[in-house]
Chains A and B, each alone.
Chain A
Amino acid sequence: MTAISETLRNLVQVLERLHVDYMLIGGHALPMYGRPRSTIDIDIAIAMKLPQPMQLEAELENAGFQVSSFSEETAYFVVTDTKAFVEVEVWLRPDGITIDAECLSRRKKVKIEDFDFWIIGPEDFIVNKLSRRDRRVQDEVDVLSVLRNTRLKLDIPYLHKIAERAGILLLLRAFEKKARVSD
């Protein structure tokens, strides 16, 4: 098992033990829906409810992780597997999306190297990427690759609903048009 898979498995075990809902987001979620690309960042979004933060921090440290300081207000914190030296950004407030029951129900369960984990749904993936405050051209390329994936059946009403909530509906429509034109 690779260091990344082992770190992710250990992290997921801690989250599941504490009944914290999570999903893999960012560049490593892309191969599920679009054209994969290289990245060395790992991002996970979690649905945190009080009084879990303190407990989560303690459990992560017990499992061999080093945890950067965080509070309810923090957008994300960094968890480092001290053994394998793998850094994971754990998002409490991922840009543009709300980790509610609907978002969680749209996650996809993936099984690789004998362990299961959740990946963000395609519609939330798109809105998260387009809503990033530090949006890169690479994020836009990622979104286009998902929109152009003809094998993927997107729930357009849901996509537009969450895009409107995030205030990026007009931007999304421009990307939808771009994806259609350059097909």
Chain B
Amino acid sequence: MPVLRVVPNLYILCSLFWEQRRTRMFDSEIRLLELCSNKDFGVREILNTLRGSHTSNMRLIKELERSGVLELIRSLNGRGRPKKIVALSPLGAVVLDKLRSVNAMMLKMNENDIRNVDKQLRLWHKLIDAGVDPYKRFIEMNEFDRNIRNFAESGTST
């Protein structure tokens, strides 16, 4: 009997960790910006370092250059044809910082959360149909919760 109980629990635990996994976003953008912030890489070096096709990575470099995140600087050092360095612009430094923090966030949602949003939305529409201002109702709900919180903290409500 205890063995039978452990199996569903293991399943629940696995699904819990799966749901709580860190979901990586903007992977290629971050990789590209990280490369540019670390070292003076030329376009070819970047294309050879990044994963994915050269065409799509080149498109990404151009796109980020157009939006002012990257700058292509002509390097005059050395002999031969001047090298184009892909550098981070001041805006790019800010964007990289923001992307890092977004990437570190956990995705706090599963299918049931989405179903619940749908349920709350249907309730929202029902309120509108009944002539009740949903925003006012929302504020009232918050006031109700605040009163419970105040009671829990001090034994009295406001």
Binding site for B on A (CB under 8 A): 2-5, 28-33, 36, 38-41, 84-85, 87, 110-113, 119, 134-138, 140-141, 167-171, 174
Contact yes or no, B146 A36, CB < 8 A: yes
The interface size bin for chain B is: 35 or more
Q: Are B110 and A40 in contact (CB under 8 A)?
A: no
Q: Residue on B with the closest CB to A152?
A: B152
**A4-B157 in contact (CB<8A):** no
Greatest chain B CB density within 10 A among A2, A38, A111, A174 is at A2
B10 on interface, CB distance cutoff 8 Å? yes
Pick 23 A–B contacts, CB within 8 A, sort by A: A2-B140, A4-B140, A28-B144, A28-B145, A29-B148, A31-B148, A31-B149, A31-B152, A32-B149, A38-B145, A40-B124, A41-B123, A84-B132, A111-B157, A112-B144, A112-B148, A113-B147, A134-B115, A136-B109, A137-B19, A138-B113, A138-B116, A171-B9
Least CB distance from B51 to A in Å reads 30
Among B13, B123, B149, point to the contact of A36 (Cβ < 8 A). Answer: B149
A87 engages B112 (CB within 8 Å): no
Binding site for A on B (CB under 8 A): 5-6, 8-10, 12-13, 16, 19-20, 108-110, 112-113, 115-116, 119-120, 123-124, 126-127, 130, 132, 134, 137-138, 140-149, 151-152, 156-157
Asked if B141 and A4 sit within 8 Å, CB to CB, the answer is yes
Chain B residues lying within 8 Å of A168, measured Cβ to Cβ, are: 9, 12
- A136/B116 in contact, CB under 8 A: yes
Question: Interface of chain A, helix or strand or loop or mixed?
Answer: mixed
Q: Which residues of A contact B20 (CB under 8 A)?
A: 137, 140
Which of A3, A138, A170 is B108 in contact with, Cβ under 8 Å? A138
Q: In the bound complex, how far is the Cα of B138 from the Cα of A112, in angstroms?
A: 18
Do A170 and B13 touch (CB < 8 A)? yes
When distances are taken between beta carbons in the complex, the residues of chain B under 8 Å from A112 are 144, 147-148, 151, 157
Which one, A40, A87, A119, contacts B148 given CB within 8 A?
A: A119
User: In the complex, are the beta carbons of B132 and A85 less than 8 A apart?
Assistant: yes
Leading 4 A-B pairs by shortest Cβ distance: A170-B9, A112-B157, A31-B149, A112-B147
Taken together as a complex, chains A and B put the C-alpha atoms of A87 and B137 apart, in Å, by 12
Q: Which residues of A contact B127 (CB under 8 A)?
A: 85
Partner of B12, one of A113, A137, A171: A171
Chain A residue numbers with a CB within 8 Å of B141 are 4, 28, 38-40
**A5 to chain B: which residues have CB within 8 Å?**
144
- Given the interface pairs A110-B151, A113-B157, A134-B112, the reply to whether A167 lies near B5 with Cβ below 8 Å is yes
B124 nearest in chain A by CB position? A40
Closest chain A residue to B10 by CB distance?
Answer: A170
Contact of A40 among B19, B109, B137 (CB under 8 A): B137
> In the bound complex, do residue A167 and residue B13 qualify as a contact, i.e. CB atoms below 8 Å apart?
no
Shortest CB distance A124–B (Å): 16
How far is it, in angstroms, between the C-alpha of A30 and the C-alpha of B152 when the chains are bound?
A: 10
Q: Which residue of A lies closest to B142 (CB)?
A: A38
Q: Are B123 and A87 in contact (CB under 8 A)?
A: yes
